[in-house]
Amino acid sequence: LITCGDESRILRVKVIGGIGLAKKDILGASDPYTRISLYDPVSGEITSLQTKTIKKVYTGSEVE
């Protein structure tokens, strides 16, 4: 819930997946996750880390 003065808004974001991710570790995987923030990059939501993949698929329950 985002509060701005006397007004409140709900922003729903659906992260579906990542394709073509760069191979970043020694085994050729990427270990992807997603950070979602609005206005403050430190206090955003972060999805779970999935290791040993370059094709991350998110489920609807990872970020609430």
* pLDDT at res. 57: 66
Q: pTM for the full model?
A: 0.39
Q: Is residue 2 domain-resident?
A: no
Q: pLDDT band at residue 64, thresholds of 50, 70 and 90?
A: very low
Q: Is residue 22's pLDDT more than 80?
A: yes
Range of the domain at 45: 15-64
Asked, for residue 48, whether it belongs to a domain, the answer is yes
Q: In this predicted model, what pLDDT tens digit does every residue of 28-47 receive, in sequence order? A: 887 777 777 766 656 656 66
Note whether residue 35 is domain-resident. Answer: yes
Whether residue 51 lies inside any domain: the answer is yes
Q: Is the dihedral of CA 33, 38, 40, 43 positive or negative?
A: negative
Structural domain includes residue 4: no
Q: How confident is the model at residue 12, as a pLDDT?
A: 79
Our count of domains for the chain comes to: 1
In a domain, 32, yes or no: yes
